[in-house]
Structure 1
Amino acid sequence: MEFRVLGPLEVRRDGVCLPVRAPRQRALLAALLLRANEVVSAERLVEVVWGPVSPPSAAANLRSHLTALRRLFGPEQSRLIARSGGYLLTVYPGELDLAGFTAAAERGREALRRGQTVEAARQLRDALARCRGQPLENVELHGVEAELARLGEARLAVTEDCLRARLAAGQEGEVVAELRELTAAHPSREQPPALLMLALHRCGRPAEALTVYEHTRRRLAEELGVDPGPELRRLHQLILSEDSSPEPARPTPPAQLPQSIIDFTGRGNELRELDELLDRRADGTLVAAITGGHGLGKTALAVRWAHRHRPRFPDGQLHADLCGHTSGLPAHTVLARFLRALGAATVPPSLAEAAALYRSLLADRRVLVLLDNAIGPEQVRPLLPGSPGSLVLITSRDPLDGLVVFESARRLRLNPLPPEESHTLLATLLGPDRLHAEPEAATQLAKLCDHLPLALRIAAAGLSAHPERALAEHLDRLRAAVGSR
């Protein structure tokens, strides 16, 4: 099946669009797709579909609409199930246009980082081609404004990256008109006018480029009461000095996040708890710590969340594996890598000087820093920016009490998956039919794995290598292996 949310809501099976005519059924399906592969509580679904003040009949009507959606899915009704006071819609890799958009955008950005500008433009255009309009524009929803705004921001960020790639590929004459439209449509953003100025200059039209700067300067002063940022000011000076090939400041911010696993499943509550961190006001850098034992999926959760919110940090994303499972990576080694990624010509020899330069370079920037597998607070402290705007996300087996006490870090203790999310993860990895054929064996397999994502993935990998093997047989083999230790 295909599910489309980047525009009018659509559901397709074998290329045929399935009708979802009732407005509340559309709203219900949209709410489930926005949290695909996660349990959404009945109360939350009622709020999204009917609003904060719902009629007494809402709960009964909700069940009726869910039954109608199951009928819509035909032979795949088991995708939509009741779980722990809520409902879960299973969506497999390649079925949701939002996931395809995210994957194509990541491929394009990676190509741009490697200097493959033509391939970058192709991939980023592929991502944008999946956007058919405003997300869920034919659905009336309540209480999801932040989620829809995030989708709109992601599309806008990919649009800017695509135009940047085309400009780098020598298509300055072709992108001028598009950049004018983008600049007019989003007057508070500085990246579109910066790219427009560069395109006009490369087209031999420096006077027009300077006019764009002046219009942008006046608009920012009158509407926001601010001056142009350092990128626009630098580009303005370069054009005034008739530099033959000016570039915007920091044309390629560091984008070091590891790839997010495509079949990430569950952890909806934890993702939302991390989302709330962005709404906190802070005088300094926001710090979040995901803590817990081995195999809980701390890294996968952190990487997933970081990719979802990458557009909020336009000045870059830094990542380091601090090797906490071994002797640990020295903070100065990490700082040296970060400083080079931020454009520093030299790295000071002492830890204190390197940390001071790092904080200076990140001042007035919005950067996301992902520090994976930290040993403890002392390893992390030199890697914390010193000014507002940035966010640091840390994973560690250590509870990181020192960061909570002295740096006001927000700690998220990770637990094993709930049983329903373990089941969904196995269904995603093995396919629903295999689990439906042996539901009790699937339940026991999840228990044997202690509902740990890593253990579940290892077990699923073994089963995938032996498609002829029944779950019960594999379960017996695993029990025997565990018992022999």
Structure 2
Amino acid sequence: MDHIAVLGPIEARVSGVRVAVVSPRQRALLARLTLARGRAVSVDTLVDDAWGTRARPRDSRAGLQVQMHRLRTLLGPLGELIATVSGGYRFDLPPELIDAEMFERQTLQGRELLRWNPQEALHRYDAALARWRGPAYAEFADTFAHAEAVRLQQLRGGVLEERIAALLAVGETTQAVADAEALISQDSLRERPYGYAMRALALEGRTSEALSLYQRLRKVLAEELGSEPSRTLEDLHLSLLRQESVAPAGPTAVAEPRLVGPAPHSSAVASFVGRQAELDELDRALARNGSVTLVGPPGVGKSRLAQELCARSSEVTLVRWVDFSSCDTGADVPQHFAASLGPCSPGPRGVTEAGLRAVNNPKTLLVLDNCEHVVDEVALLVARARRSCPQARVLVTSRERLAVEGEYVINVSPLPVQAGKGLAPAVRLFLDRIAAAGQPIDEQNLDVLRTVAVICGRLDGLPLALELAAGRVSTLGVSVSAGVADLLWLASGRRTDRSSHRSLRAAVSWSFDRLAADEQRLLRRLSVFAGWFSVTWASQVCADDTLPPGQIPALLASLVDKSLVSRRADPAPGMRGHSLLHTVQCYAEDQLEQAGEADVFRERHAQALEGWAVDLADLPVIALGAVKPVWQVAA
């Protein structure tokens, strides 16, 4: 049978015969397209994933076409399912042809059978687990497939636990003890295996061992988390002390698991520079409000700030981290939320309610990361958490605020590039990352430091851009790097993050691809402005038959909300209050070229400037002292 296997090294089979996809680039393309099954993947994303830090062909688009043609030929009938769409490719692969999808289906079947036919449930669980040949997405589990690989691994852990419940239900207590001990050895903080092992031991008449196992769990939780076992396990322990009979447990009869940080894609091993004011404000806001959203442009370091808060806060003893970057649509949010927290007993109100119960503790922090593309559904989730779990503390990272009652928004800005005394935070971070790459810079050389400051300014002080560019600079040298025209190329090349953070182009593309068509149209046209501009100028230059002037103010406000356009805090009426970060402008310029609109809107911008210059030349000499205010009003 034809299928794609991702539960281990990426593999394709046609008519039951394994297809040798040897090329690393073709393997990366196959993995990325399978990961995004049914959704278009942009050319930029595919090129970033396929070539990574390796040398790329001069014409990346043509090189990608060659690799895609070879992949389609290799895959035969499966290759015919790879469609060329506007701006990229889409793999129209039915779910039954992916082993990960079938693993999840068989898991659900086993879960449904467990209550009334545990023997058959055991067979379904075994069939699901047999599909695993190694870590999910194997060589791509630390890069663009990281989030999905983590999610699948969490699901596998849940299946292993539920399989023990099935063993108990069919009387295989000795095997249940052995399997539970194996899971405990892998993760000593997950309570569920302890509960199953205690029940199995009690059913075998080994009550003293079951009580000893409870004390072992209690010691681990106290040392690692400063907490006690859940109420469910406490009740089981009490029953054993009273020598009461213990029944085999189904999946709803044991404690909910504990999931402790670090967060996915953690960069906590690297130094953390600046942000003390933001950390202080974040700490106070969480204590006072209970729900805080970190908002900022792509690559500004929202997730990293959240990680640092988790590491430093003395008020947090348990972190539950949910990364929504792998969710395709808002409909995926409830199931992904529950899966990220580990196997939870659904309860009468579903998996979301079960997950929320697990965070209703003032010492527990729930972090919802990368929420911008599912903001509506996450807003509902947070609102529900605030109503039903008053003790819960929730930290959200998004490029757009949730707009829910009680939300405290912290705008995360780029790192300052200039400082009154000492090195600016952006420069300090850049120097640290260059040193980490093995090419430290003499910080006493003022000429070099000035050049570094120029590079940091061109990269807008964005931490992601600075960290990515540091690798290039360590190879090219400071002077050569300062002259590189392509900022998006300079800020690229890291392999160990999900695809949206492996290059600055990918980070901006992640946001751009999720804009409405009119928002994309306006953003790319705004790239003709090199500096600040007003709503009036944006309407004058960017409007046409496809984008009426009356729509510009609302679309511009939406782009501000989504952190793709910067806005002065309180611009005066008529003042030029908006601008694009240099990095966003570079990406938008590329999109303008690809849309074939560059010449038209650059000409319109030039005509607008010419009209402004004519108006300014007509001013009487006596008004020249007031040129700046007049300029602001005119713009």
TM-score band, normalised by the shorter chain? 0.5 to 0.7
State the Cα deviation string for residues 302-341 of structure 1 (Å, max 9, x = none): 443333443224474769xxxxxxxxxxxxxxxxx659x9
CA contact (8 A) 1:31 1:45 kept: yes
The Cα of 1:141 is off from its aligned counterpart by 5.9
The Cα of 1:17 is off from its aligned counterpart by 0.9
Q: For residues 43 and 91 of structure 1, do their structure 2 counterparts lie closer, same or farther at Cα, with a shift above 3 Å needed?
A: same
Structure 2 distance, partners of 1:229, 1:46, is 48
The Cα of 1:16 is off from its aligned counterpart by 0.9
Query: Aligned to 2:246, what secondary structure does the other structure show?
Result: coil
Question: Is residue 205 from structure 1 mapped to residue 218 from structure 2 by the alignment?
Answer: no
The Cα of 1:61 is off from its aligned counterpart by 3.8
Structure 1 distance, partners of 2:141, 2:168, is 38
The Cα of 1:92 is off from its aligned counterpart by 1.2
Structure 2 distance, partners of 1:67, 1:240, is 68
For 1:12, the equivalent position in structure 2 comes to 13
Structure 2 distance, partners of 1:389, 1:102, is 31
Counterpart selection for 2:105 from 90, 103, 111: 103
Counterpart selection for 2:334 from 306, 314, 319: 306
For 2:35, the equivalent position in structure 1 comes to 34
Structure 2 distance, partners of 1:312, 1:125, is 22
For 2:71, the equivalent position in structure 1 comes to 69
For 1:45, the equivalent position in structure 2 comes to 46
Structure 1 distance, partners of 2:24, 2:175, is 41
CA contact (8 A) 1:313 1:390 kept: no
The Cα of 1:177 is off from its aligned counterpart by 1.4
Letter in 2 for 1:201: A
Q: For residues 166 and 215 of structure 1, do their structure 2 counterparts lie closer, same or farther at Cα, with a shift above 3 Å needed?
A: same
CA contact (8 A) 1:24 1:65 kept: yes
CA contact (8 A) 2:174 2:200 kept: yes
For 2:126, the equivalent position in structure 1 comes to 125
Query: Aligned to 2:97, what secondary structure does the other structure show?
Result: coil
Query: Aligned to 1:403, what secondary structure does the other structure show?
Result: coil
Q: For residues 129 and 251 of structure 1, do their structure 2 counterparts lie closer, same or farther at Cα, with a shift above 3 Å needed?
A: same
The Cα of 1:210 is off from its aligned counterpart by 2.3
Query: Aligned to 1:187, what secondary structure does the other structure show?
Result: coil
For 2:421, the equivalent position in structure 1 comes to none
CA contact (8 A) 1:70 1:80 kept: yes
For 2:226, the equivalent position in structure 1 comes to 226
The Cα of 1:125 is off from its aligned counterpart by 2.2
Q: For residues 163 and 103 of structure 1, do their structure 2 counterparts lie closer, same or farther at Cα, with a shift above 3 Å needed?
A: same
Structure 1 distance, partners of 2:246, 2:117, is 19
The Cα of 1:173 is off from its aligned counterpart by 2.2
The Cα of 1:97 is off from its aligned counterpart by 0.6
Query: Aligned to 1:94, what secondary structure does the other structure show?
Result: helix
CA contact (8 A) 1:49 1:142 kept: no
Q: For residues 308 and 172 of structure 1, do their structure 2 counterparts lie closer, same or farther at Cα, with a shift above 3 Å needed?
A: same
CA contact (8 A) 1:220 1:228 kept: yes
Q: For residues 88 and 156 of structure 1, do their structure 2 counterparts lie closer, same or farther at Cα, with a shift above 3 Å needed?
A: same
State the Cα deviation string for residues 116-135 of structure 1 (Å, max 9, x = none): 43333232222212222211
For 1:157, the equivalent position in structure 2 comes to 158
Counterpart selection for 1:385 from 385, 389, 392: 389
Q: Which consecutive unaligned segments of at least 5 residues does structure 1 have?
A: 255-275, 289-299, 320-336, 344-357, 393-399, 419-485
Structure 2 distance, partners of 1:29, 1:78, is 13
Q: For residues 169 and 193 of structure 1, do their structure 2 counterparts lie closer, same or farther at Cα, with a shift above 3 Å needed?
A: same
For 1:21, the equivalent position in structure 2 comes to 22
Question: Is residue 190 from structure 1 mapped to residue 194 from structure 2 by the alignment?
Answer: no
Structure 1 distance, partners of 2:205, 2:110, is 28
Structure 2 distance, partners of 1:170, 1:122, is 15
The Cα of 1:405 is off from its aligned counterpart by 6.5
Structure 1 distance, partners of 2:146, 2:358, is 35
State the Cα deviation string for residues 365-395 of structure 1 (Å, max 9, x = none): 999xxxx99xx99x97995432337899xxx
Name the Cα RMSD after superposition: 5.1
The Cα of 1:98 is off from its aligned counterpart by 0.8
Aligned length: 348
Structure 2 distance, partners of 1:87, 1:402, is 34
The Cα of 1:187 is off from its aligned counterpart by 2.0
Query: Aligned to 1:40, what secondary structure does the other structure show?
Result: strand
Q: For residues 318 and 382 of structure 1, do their structure 2 counterparts lie closer, same or farther at Cα, with a shift above 3 Å needed?
A: farther
Q: For residues 140 and 308 of structure 1, do their structure 2 counterparts lie closer, same or farther at Cα, with a shift above 3 Å needed?
A: closer
CA contact (8 A) 2:155 2:343 kept: no
- Mean CA deviation greater in 74-83 or 245-254: 245-254
- The 5-angstrom pairing of residues 253-272 of structure 1 reads none
Which fold has the larger relative contact order, with Cα–Cα distance below 8 Å and residues 6 or more apart in sequence?
Answer: 1
The Cα of 1:280 is off from its aligned counterpart by 6.8
Q: Which consecutive unaligned segments of at least 5 residues does structure 2 have?
A: 257-301, 323-327, 367-375, 410-510, 519-635
The Cα of 1:101 is off from its aligned counterpart by 0.8
State the Cα deviation string for residues 23-43 of structure 1 (Å, max 9, x = none): 222122112111111112222
The Cα of 1:168 is off from its aligned counterpart by 2.7
Structure 1 distance, partners of 2:254, 2:219, is 27
Query: What is the percent sequence identity of the aligned residues?
Result: 27
Q: For residues 201 and 318 of structure 1, do their structure 2 counterparts lie closer, same or farther at Cα, with a shift above 3 Å needed?
A: closer
The Cα of 1:11 is off from its aligned counterpart by 0.6
For 2:575, the equivalent position in structure 1 comes to none
Q: For residues 305 and 338 of structure 1, do their structure 2 counterparts lie closer, same or farther at Cα, with a shift above 3 Å needed?
A: closer
Letter in 2 for 1:159: L
Q: For residues 417 and 215 of structure 1, do their structure 2 counterparts lie closer, same or farther at Cα, with a shift above 3 Å needed?
A: farther
CA contact (8 A) 2:154 2:342 kept: no
The Cα of 1:136 is off from its aligned counterpart by 2.7
Letter in 2 for 1:123: R
Structure 2 distance, partners of 1:153, 1:178, is 17
CA contact (8 A) 2:168 2:248 kept: no
Structure 1 distance, partners of 2:98, 2:10, is 11
- The 5-angstrom pairing of residues 255-404 of structure 1 reads 301-314=329-342, 316=344, 338=349, 384-388=388-392, 403=404
State the Cα deviation string for residues 399-444 of structure 1 (Å, max 9, x = none): x997356598xxx9x99999xxxxxxxxxxxxxxxxxxxxxxxxxx
Structure 2 distance, partners of 1:148, 1:381, is 27
TM (normalized to structure 1)? 0.57
Letter in 2 for 1:304: D
CA contact (8 A) 1:47 1:54 kept: no
For 1:83, the equivalent position in structure 2 comes to 85
Q: For residues 155 and 11 of structure 1, do their structure 2 counterparts lie closer, same or farther at Cα, with a shift above 3 Å needed?
A: same
Query: Aligned to 2:12, what secondary structure does the other structure show?
Result: strand
Question: Is residue 3 from structure 1 mapped to residue 42 from structure 2 by the alignment?
Answer: no
Q: For residues 163 and 143 of structure 1, do their structure 2 counterparts lie closer, same or farther at Cα, with a shift above 3 Å needed?
A: same
Letter in 2 for 1:189: R
- Mean CA deviation greater in 31-40 or 117-126: 117-126
Structure 2 distance, partners of 1:366, 1:109, is 29
Q: For residues 232 and 253 of structure 1, do their structure 2 counterparts lie closer, same or farther at Cα, with a shift above 3 Å needed?
A: closer
- The 5-angstrom pairing of residues 430-469 of structure 1 reads none
Letter in 1 for 2:391: S
